[in-house]
Structure 1
Amino acid sequence: MSKRTLKWNEKKIEQFIKEGRGQGEGKDYKPWLVVQDFPTMGVATRILGKTTGRVHHFFSNTQLKYFYLLEWEDNVIDIREHYPLLDLEESLSDMSDLNLEKFRDKESKVDYILSTTFLITVLDSNGNKKYAARSIKYASELKKKITLEKLEIERRYWTEAKGIDWGIVTNKEINDIRVKNIEWLHPVMISKNQNGLENNELKDLCEGLLYRLNESRNSVRQTIIQYEQDYSLDKGIGIFLFKYLLANKIVLVDMDKPINLNCSFKELCRHRREVEN
């Protein structure tokens, strides 16, 4: 549990619910906890999401890294962070063996509203919605009794009461190289202005770059620089185009290996498809 900088009582719960926290889906969802609730936490991050089109709130680097992994998956259609277990007492029939006093404000004697880091909506192979809940922790946290007790509450809530797949993800289970690759592409993934290029212009330039890359024996970096010079493009447009090809999975690379622009295109590329409008 993070140390709270806000006073926790029944009035605060009512305020959160009135604000719509923990409610809605997609762009309309509001997380139960936001970075403004913890003004002293230096690791807090706000980031715009591609999947939802809204700003997400995270309180650790591991939470952010897992978010990037979710953003890359095509079958993920909604990501709700800090999802509150508002109906916990109604959902769990027997909590006699759970020490809920540990999750209670010492001054107000009001129980904290526990939350799970992510509630994820995915589409299965038949196009049906399914849900998965994930609790994100540093591996070192799993040595703490209070952390394990909270996770047990979450497990019972999701698996036993809700019938939803739940699991724990730690920093040791996250591929940092994959995360860094997605982080590098993410600004293009969420960009709407396409670097000022019209759709037809963007398509033509991407097709031209793809042809150059496929025919060139030089490195990707050298080919991009030459392409910019030949077409009198502003510096940086070539890198944007290459990122666009990767971000939209027109060009596929091994995301679990560093994207090395000093390699040739044939060394880097696994597969490519036609550029679409």
Structure 2
Amino acid sequence: MARRRKLETLSDYQRALKKKFGLGERCEYMPWLRVQDVNSCGNSGKIEGLKFGRTHHTLSEHESCLFYIAEFSDSIIDIREQFPLLPLDLSVKIAQTLGVDHPVNPQSPGKEINVMTTDFLLTRTDGTTTWYEAVSVKPEDKLKDQRTAEKLDIERTWWQLQGIPFHVFVMTEQNKIQSKNIQWFTAPLRHGASFPDDLMDHARALTHHGTVLIEEVCNTFVQEIGIEHDDALVLFKVLLATKQVVVNLDKPIADTGIVEVLNVLSQDMECHHAS
């Protein structure tokens, strides 16, 4: 099990930077804070990424919610969580300018200034232009807290000085449903599930538009392809996770056993996409 790092003094911060925490991109990025580095309320987690070839560290259910949605988005080409606002003296100057207290580390002997982090730095593209967006994740009730607002102002100003848009993400019932759906059908891929291309093609050809019972889809796979029922469910999930079958994410899937199929990738579309 990875050890908890001490992040209490300036020398600790310098040591972390030398070890590349908070630096790098995609598979080489290491978050400034990891699950084992902070006190957990039981909602933190390590998520095996599908896009970026590394484990992602989320420190709350709300952060996990955003992560699944962001990773599934075609426009997002990198996710860096727990991104440090460095150099430290910049966030200190911003706090002074705003007339608010900069966060300190209560565990440090001399109440050292703490390195602030933004929950997510996203890299996005529209196919032509690439840009960054910073996102702070907050429960809705926390937004009414004055101290939370002060720290958000420091973050927002820090990113504005970098010329990067800053957003606040609040987990709603709707995006929670979307996230849970994505988590449900991407789980097999995160655990290494895979199927031969010809079997995937066959399963996709058996999948039709409209609202269907997952049980019926799996039964069709069992009868027509000749696989076990458990494997049929995993196969269906992989079709959804790889977007060969596109479904409505706004309705709960696992809890209802019902899915609305919006589109099925055709053979022609797949060949065009591959080219």
Question: Normalising by structure 2, what TM-score?
Answer: 0.84
Distance in 2 separating the partners of 1:216 and 1:101: 53
Query: Is the CA contact 1:216–1:223 (under 8 Å) kept in the aligned structure 2?
Result: no
Residue 122, structure 1, aligned to residue 124, structure 2: yes
Distance in 1 separating the partners of 2:9 and 2:211: 66
Runs ≥4 in structure 1, deviation > 6 angstroms?
215-218
Which deviates further from its counterpart, 51-60 or 90-99?
90-99
Query: Is the CA contact 1:213–1:220 (under 8 Å) kept in the aligned structure 2?
Result: no
* Pairwise CA distance, 1:189: 4.1
Secondary structure of 1:27's partner? Answer: helix
Distance in 1 separating the partners of 2:22 and 2:164: 17
Query: Is the CA contact 1:65–1:174 (under 8 Å) kept in the aligned structure 2?
Result: no
2:83 alignment counterpart: 83
Query: Is the CA contact 1:66–1:174 (under 8 Å) kept in the aligned structure 2?
Result: no
1:206 alignment counterpart: 200
Distance in 1 separating the partners of 2:111 and 2:211: 69
Which residues of structure 2 form unaligned runs of 5+?
none
Secondary structure of 2:112's partner? Answer: coil
* Pairwise CA distance, 1:92: 7.9
Distance in 2 separating the partners of 1:104 and 1:143: 23
* Pairwise CA distance, 1:154: 0.4
Distance in 1 separating the partners of 2:209 and 2:148: 55
Residues 28-107 of structure 1: matches in 2 within 5 Å?
A: 28-90=28-90, 95-103=96-104, 105=106, 107=109
2:234 alignment counterpart: 240
Query: Is the CA contact 1:205–1:241 (under 8 Å) kept in the aligned structure 2?
Result: no
Q: 1:112 to 1:216 in 2, by over 3 A?
A: closer
Secondary structure of 1:268's partner? Answer: strand
1:182 alignment counterpart: 182
Which residues of structure 1 form unaligned runs of 5+?
none
1:151 alignment counterpart: 152
Distance in 1 separating the partners of 2:40 and 2:118: 22
1:132 alignment counterpart: 133
* Pairwise CA distance, 1:223: 3.8
* Pairwise CA distance, 1:215: 10
Identity of aligned residues (%): 30
Q: 1:130 to 1:258 in 2, by over 3 A?
A: same
Query: Is the CA contact 2:104–2:113 (under 8 Å) kept in the aligned structure 1?
Result: yes
Distance in 1 separating the partners of 2:114 and 2:232: 50
Distance in 2 separating the partners of 1:75 and 1:186: 18
Distance in 2 separating the partners of 1:217 and 1:102: 50
Distance in 2 separating the partners of 1:88 and 1:10: 10
Q: 1:101 to 1:243 in 2, by over 3 A?
A: closer
Query: Is the CA contact 1:120–1:132 (under 8 Å) kept in the aligned structure 2?
Result: yes
Q: CA RMSD for the aligned pairs?
A: 2.9
Q: 1:93 to 1:227 in 2, by over 3 A?
A: closer
Count of residues in correspondence between the two structures: 263
Distance in 1 separating the partners of 2:208 and 2:126: 34
1:250 alignment counterpart: 244
Q: 1:208 to 1:181 in 2, by over 3 A?
A: same
Distance in 2 separating the partners of 1:37 and 1:122: 28
Distance in 2 separating the partners of 1:216 and 1:253: 9
2:166 alignment counterpart: 166
* Pairwise CA distance, 1:12: 1.5
Query: Is the CA contact 1:79–1:120 (under 8 Å) kept in the aligned structure 2?
Result: yes
Query: Is the CA contact 2:104–2:111 (under 8 Å) kept in the aligned structure 1?
Result: no
* Pairwise CA distance, 1:65: 0.4
